[in-house]
Every structure is written in C-alpha cells, then in structure tokens.
Amino acid sequence: MSTTGSVGTAPSASADPAAPSTPTQPQSTVMDVDAPESSPPPNSSPAAAASSAPTQDSTADSTAGNTYLFTSESVTESHPDKLCDQISDAIVDACLTLDPSSRVACETICKTGVVIIFGEITSSASINYEQVIRDAVRDAGYDDPAKGLDYKTCNVIVALEEQSPDIAQCVDSTKVEDMGAGDSSTVFGYACEETPELMPLSHMLATKLSARLAAVRKDGTLDWIRPDGKTQVTVEYATSAQGVPVPKRVHSIVISAQHSEDVSNDKISADLLEHVVQPVVPSKYLDEKTLYHFNPSGRFVIGGPHSDAGLTGRKPIVDTYGGWGSYGGGALSGKDATKVDRSASYAARWIAKSLVSNGYCHRCCIQLSYGIGIPHPISIRVDTYGTCTNKNGKTESDLVKLVESNFDLRPGCIVRDLDLKRPAMRKTAAYGHFGREEFKWEKVKDLSKA
C-alpha cells in the first residue's frame, strides 16, 4: 500500500460528501482541506464552508524550528496479521474459559484459503480448535473465497504440542508469589499527557481511524468497503519549555481501504473524508495544510490473506504506543499471562499511567526486565525524559523506589492483581492493548500517599 503518488485536489472537510474529487491522476488522492469545528449541512457550498473554517496559529507551521513530525500507523481487525493475533487470542480465551491455569503459546499463520495454528498448550480443557478458528475468521468478515478466505471452506491445520516440562517447572507453583517468569524478557510501558487516555495522539488517531473503517463496513454505512485496511497519521509536535511533546496539528492522514470492484476513486475519497476522518479527528487539529492520501496506490481490490500472508505478533507497534516510548520482549497475543512478554507489559503500562496521572511526571517510560524462573524483576527503570524534576521535585531514582514499594511485580502477583486468568484476551488483539478503559491495567493506582 504505497503512500506515494501525484498530488491532486478534493472536497474540503465541509463540502457536499457526494461531490467528486478531481485528482490529477485517478490512482492518487492528496487533499489540502479546511476542517470546520463541525460538519455543515450536506447542501452547504464548499466556498461558504471554507470562508468560515478556522485556521491554526502560525506557530504550528511545520517549518518552525521547534516543531517536528511523528507518524503512527494502525490496521483494521481484518488485516492478515491482526486476524492471526485474534485467532491466537481466541485460542487463549477458549482454554482459560475451561481451565484458568492453562499454559498457552499459540501462533497463527493465514494465507489464501488456509489457516494454521501451531505452538504449545498444556490445559485440562477440551477445545474444538477448528471451530474457534472458523468463528474468528467469520467475525473478521472473511466469508467469501473472493476475499481471500472463507470461514466455511478454508483449510484448517492444527499443530499443537504440550508445553516443555523444563518451562513448566518454572511457572508451576502452589504459591502465586513464588511463580517464576516463564521466560527471560525485557518489556516497556509508556504514558503521556497528550490525550485523556494518557496515550500519544498520533497513535490514538491512527487506531481510532482503523476502528472506524471497520465500523462503517459492519454497519453498512459504506457498502463498498472490504475487510482489509490500514491507516497512518502524522502529527506535528512542538516541544514545551518543560521538554514535553505538544501536539499542534495533524500534518497528514493516509488511509488504504480495501474496496469492491465497482467503486470510483472519487467516491472512496469523499466517503472516507465524511464517514471516517471527520467523525474521528478533532477539527482543532485540522487546517488548510492538512494532507489526505486516500488509497494512494490507486486500487485495493485484492486484500486480506489473498494479498499478504498473516502471522501472529507482527504488529507490535500497532499493539502498543505507535512508536513512542520503547518496545521490547516478544509479541503480546497468543500467550497466557505466565508469559511476562504479555503480563509484565501490562504492568509496565499500569505503572507508567499511574505515575503520570498522579502528577509525578508529564511523560514516562518504564522498563522491566525478567530472568526465566526468577520471581522478582532483574531490573526496573523509570525514564521521565527529565519531566519528573520539573513537575514534582522527585528524581527518577525516587520514582523507582516508589514503584518498588507500591507495585508487586512478581509474575504471579501481576496475574492476580490484573485478573489475567479471565478469558478476555481476544478483545486486546485488535485496536491496541493500551489506552482502553475496559482493561484493568488502565485503572490508575492512587499514589497520593506514596
């Protein structure tokens, strides 16, 4: 899905959604638009809307010396890699539903007409793996061979073994406090003040645009949309006097949406602007310089597993913070919570969000490192990018001590405190593991008396 192409024009954010764009070449749509605070009635003229549209302060100009661009991407739940993540986590949930002590490490591959799961599972649960797989494929919208996969007819291959006894003896313990890490791993958690979710704006916008792409497909708003899709948002940031990134405006948006054969590029552009971008991106971040690239490759009929093979764990930046902070350890999906790749990543986010929310820093990156079979973390690092001393007067060393005294980071205790034996993993496998209030690791811990 290339983001290159020739530059053209298209309707402003306030134009009649039925009005076609006029690209220089049909295979590329790049738009410079005004975005009003709210969308005007469908019959309002583009000229009238443009005259009343607000503009950003000149300090947001990307040529200013104290600004920079940062880009995050996301994909829909039906992207081949995300489909594999969801299948793997559907297997995890199926096992946890019947046996909360299940040990699961399940990987998935998908390609045209076939889904393969492989890995190691130790559980007392009796699972119809084929049915779990077909249900997940159906839920992702793949119900026709023309889409590259059909849940009714696709080949399913199951290649699972039991967990190695060498690993099992590290994590099998009668006392939750004594459970060692199931593997050596270093993980990270991040939080910042850019959004109400304490997540980076570029990441949240890209994620919400992908979710919106799926929503307008499912509810029939846009009948030409097919399951696969990808989004990319570039935000222009300035740096505050405290050294904190401050979002100024959205520089550009790229959306690649799989589509039916019979829809025109002009309609794709108009529909994506009205039904996907405008409901998601706050108009205060859009101005006359914002660039929109809608299906810049020109054609995206062949998609999903027919176009690209899918594999569990290939979208870690989409799953986490959109490139902000750091990323370490292994993939998140397909693993039960004894794998610290997953559980400790959730704990690291819990810590980072709690520190920022409690006012100890403006932004924060937490590093936790574990050794296989060892209950306590090998190391804890708190990096506030210099913002803790500016805001609270504490040093990062002080915050490490605060973390050690307020969060029990032994793997078994993380599983207990975050209730990670519940069969709720599949919902994390699309649209991010973080920044969503339904997850327990997003509930801020009160550190006011720490």
User: Is 118 an annotated catalytic residue?
Assistant: no
What's the Cα-to-Cα distance from 61 to each of 12, 22, 144, 155, 282, rounded to whole Å?
Answer: 20, 27, 47, 53, 18
User: Is 81 an annotated catalytic residue?
Assistant: yes
308, 394, 421, 445: the catalytic one is 308
User: Is 299 an annotated catalytic residue?
Assistant: no
> Which residues, in sequence order, are bridge partners of residue 161?
120
315, 342, 362, 363: the catalytic one is 315
Strand ranges inside 272-370, DSSP E = 290-294, 310-311, 363-370
34, 194, 341, 417: the catalytic one is 341
> Which residues, in sequence order, are bridge partners of residue 105?
120, 335
User: Is 134 an annotated catalytic residue?
Assistant: no
73, 81, 89, 194: the catalytic one is 81
Strand ranges inside 34-123, DSSP E = 67-75, 103-111, 114-122
Q: Are 394 and 388 in contact (CB under 8 A)?
A: yes
15, 16, 79, 259: the catalytic one is 79
CB count within 10 Å of CB 389 equals 14
125, 238, 309, 450: the catalytic one is 309
> Which residues, in sequence order, are bridge partners of residue 259?
225
User: Is 230 an annotated catalytic residue?
Assistant: yes
User: Is 271 an annotated catalytic residue?
Assistant: no
Which residues, 6 or more positions from 235, have their beta carbon under 8 angstroms from its beta carbon?
69, 70, 71, 72, 201, 202, 205, 247, 248, 249, 250, 251, 285
User: Is 427 an annotated catalytic residue?
Assistant: no
DSSP state of 21: P
User: Is 407 an annotated catalytic residue?
Assistant: no
203, 259, 293, 335: the catalytic one is 335
188, 300, 434, 439: the catalytic one is 300
User: Is 401 an annotated catalytic residue?
Assistant: no
With H, G, I as helix, E, B as strand and everything else as coil, classify residue 150. Answer: strand
107, 194, 197, 319: the catalytic one is 107
User: Is 161 an annotated catalytic residue?
Assistant: no
120, 143, 193, 398: the catalytic one is 120
User: Is 135 an annotated catalytic residue?
Assistant: no
230, 251, 289, 362: the catalytic one is 230
User: Is 341 an annotated catalytic residue?
Assistant: yes
138, 314, 421, 440: the catalytic one is 314
N-term to C-term CA, the chain:
49
As annotated, the active-site residues are 79, 81-82, 107, 120, 230, 300, 308-309, 314-315, 335, 339, 341
